[in-house]
Structure 1
Amino acid sequence: MSKRRKKKEHHDEHMDESWLVPYSDLLTLLLALFIVLYAMSSVDAKKFAALANVFNKEFQSGTGIFEYPSPAPSPVEQNVDIDNLNKKQEKTVSSSITEEELRNIQKQQEQNELKNIQEKVNSYINEKKLTDKLETSLTDEGLLVSIRDNVLFASGSAEIRNHDKNVVAEISKLLVMDPPRSIIISGHTDNVPIHNSKYESNWELSVSRAINFMKLLLKNDQLDPSAFSAKGYGEFKPIASNKTEKGREKNRRVEILIQPRSPKN
């Protein structure tokens, strides 16, 4: 009876000790797992490889997970990725700035360039004492140079007078720019009806004056004809009242519009 009890007690004691082995293995594996996770979170590939070798030696059974290539990028690869990311971020920020601020910067630059051109034209006007016949103004559309018709044309005529052709030649020199800009020549009249053998309306007279003036400008070989265009508005764009002689004089004019350079896309 005592022998059986001793055997039973010995058997129970053996069963109680056997669970410690898997329990300790589980704890070891959990510890190893946490160490692995910590090591994988590190960007130091050399330390990760060294740690992998240690664990492979400790756990020889089965296929070691550390024998596979590390998912963590090498320092070189990581630097490249970071550099590319930084470049993309900088490009995004730069694009954002370009969209919001580039137009204002270009507009301001254009205004400064047009002001320089205006100063040159004004210097010519003052030098030739033509302040009562030519004037300049900066508008949203560009630099506008207005020339009274009596500077260039006889009344009711679209032919530039011979003694005024030197004025046109001087103006053409002021229009030589690098890079070239689009230039619109427009003719304007007062509202007094015209009807003669050559022109049936003020429209035809204004168009002819603009074209003849433009042709004379383009005798300057330094000007690009493709940058020029001509328009005739007749009496329909007055800048003064047509009820007075002075107002009608102002309305009879040829205008040179120097347009801002369009921004490149």
Structure 2
Amino acid sequence: MSTIALVLFFLMLLAYVQNLITGSNLEYKRNQLKNTEKLLESSQLELEKAEKELALKKNELELTREEVEQRNLKLVLSQKEIEKQREIITMSNQELEQLRKKLEQIAVLRLSVLEKVKESIENVVGKTNNKGEALVTIGDNANIIINESLVFGYDSYTIKDEGKKVLGQFARAFEVILDDKSIRDYIDSINIEGYTDDMGDSNYNRELSTKRSTAVLNYLMEANPNLEQKYGAYFAAVGFSEFRPIAYGSSEGARQKNRRIEITVSIKDSNIQKIINDYLSESDEMLNTEQGD
């Protein structure tokens, strides 16, 4: 009987120990599950945070893409504007070149008139006097220069016989030139200018230079009455005294060069102004057309 009781006791003790072990394992499992749930929640939060950051990055990337597209568009527009400006500059340069050529044509016309007169003189009276000095030359300012000693004696405004021959040819040459309407329409005046050296009083020299230029002009009209009748209004005389020298220094050679008669052809300002106005008008039309586009 006692043996059976002892066996039952051990069985009951074993069952109790087993229950203790099983309960301990269950509590451990519960704790593990709680820890796992906490880790899962933490991971879920990190995942949500990562998704938010990814969404922000996507937005930033989209904004960056839009900015790049806008910049590319601006770059394309800028390139088109640069090309447009380049075309305008090219057209302006071409127009300026045309304007320059037209103005050059007027300058060439002026020089051509004087060259024709000079050639006409040389064909009749030759190129030099008996001293080998040039009778007429074209100066750096594109004016005809008449050797003063050819026309006047020292301190005199009486024309020499040798000078009359030359001036008579000038009178005929200018009539021929002015008969050409295509040339005459550009000419404003033909000026006879007298110059002296720097010796003596400037007032006296101014009077002497004026008397000389006036004497030359009067003889031109006397030698060829047709010139005065048809084109007298184109001519004028002026004296510059010792001012505007073409040679500097006090040597006799320099002073002799400064004692001279110059003939200059003035072009009408209206012709030059018309060329400029035409250019400005064409430029305005081009600008208005570009703005309209």
Please, what TM-score do these two structures have when normalized by structure 1? 0.54
Is 1:207–1:231's contact at 8 Å kept on the other side of the alignment? yes
User: Offset of 1:209 from its aligned partner?
Assistant: 0.2
Choose from 226, 246, 259 the match for 2:253: 246
Is 1:191–1:235's contact at 8 Å kept on the other side of the alignment? yes
Report the residue type matching 1:134 in the other structure. Answer: V
Q: CA RMSD in A?
A: 2.8
Q: Which runs of 5+ in 2 are unaligned?
A: 1-91, 275-293
Question: What secondary structure does 2:227 align onto?
Answer: coil
2:176 is the alignment partner of 1:174: no
What is the match of residue 103 of structure 2? 107
Report the residue type matching 1:212 in the other structure. Answer: A
Choose from 222, 234, 239 the match for 1:232: 239
User: Offset of 1:226 from its aligned partner?
Assistant: 1.3
Question: What secondary structure does 2:244 align onto?
Answer: coil
Report the residue type matching 2:245 in the other structure. Answer: P
Is 1:206–1:233's contact at 8 Å kept on the other side of the alignment? yes
Distance (Å, rounded) in 2 between the aligned partners of 1:218 and 1:115: 23
Q: Which has the higher helix share?
A: 2
Distance (Å, rounded) in 1 between the aligned partners of 2:122 and 2:246: 23
2:202 is the alignment partner of 1:202: no
Instruction: Give runs of aligned pairs for residues 15-34 of structure 1, distance below 5 A.
Output: none
Q: In terms of Rg, which structure is larger?
A: 2
Is 2:168–2:220's contact at 8 Å kept on the other side of the alignment? yes
User: Offset of 1:103 from its aligned partner?
Assistant: 4.8
User: Offset of 1:138 from its aligned partner?
Assistant: 6.2
User: Offset of 1:126 from its aligned partner?
Assistant: 4.2
Distance (Å, rounded) in 2 between the aligned partners of 1:100 and 1:120: 29
Question: CA 1:192 to 1:218, structure 2 compared with 1: closer, same or farther past 3 Å?
Answer: same
What is the match of residue 29 of structure 1? none
Distance (Å, rounded) in 2 between the aligned partners of 1:247 and 1:122: 23
Instruction: Give runs of aligned pairs for residues 53-72 of structure 1, distance below 5 A.
Output: none
User: Offset of 1:227 from its aligned partner?
Assistant: 1.1
Q: Which runs of 5+ in 1 are unaligned?
A: 1-95
Q: Deviations over 1:196-238 (max 9, x none)?
A: xxxx711110000011101111232135121111111111111
Question: CA 1:183 to 1:152, structure 2 compared with 1: closer, same or farther past 3 Å?
Answer: same
Question: CA 1:254 to 1:115, structure 2 compared with 1: closer, same or farther past 3 Å?
Answer: closer
Report the residue type matching 2:102 in the other structure. Answer: Q
Instruction: Give runs of aligned pairs for residues 115-264 of structure 1, distance below 5 A.
Output: 115-124=111-120, 126-127=122-123, 128-130=126-128, 132-137=134-139, 139=141, 143-176=142-175, 177=178, 178-179=180-181, 180=184, 181=187, 182-193=189-200, 201-219=204-222, 220=224, 221-223=226-228, 224-262=231-269, 263=271
Question: CA 1:160 to 1:138, structure 2 compared with 1: closer, same or farther past 3 Å?
Answer: same
Is 1:110–1:261's contact at 8 Å kept on the other side of the alignment? no
Distance (Å, rounded) in 1 between the aligned partners of 2:136 and 2:164: 15
Report the residue type matching 2:103 in the other structure. Answer: K
Question: CA 1:206 to 1:124, structure 2 compared with 1: closer, same or farther past 3 Å?
Answer: same
Is 1:202–1:234's contact at 8 Å kept on the other side of the alignment? yes
Distance (Å, rounded) in 2 between the aligned partners of 1:207 and 1:242: 23
User: Offset of 1:246 from its aligned partner?
Assistant: 0.6
Distance (Å, rounded) in 2 between the aligned partners of 1:233 and 1:115: 22
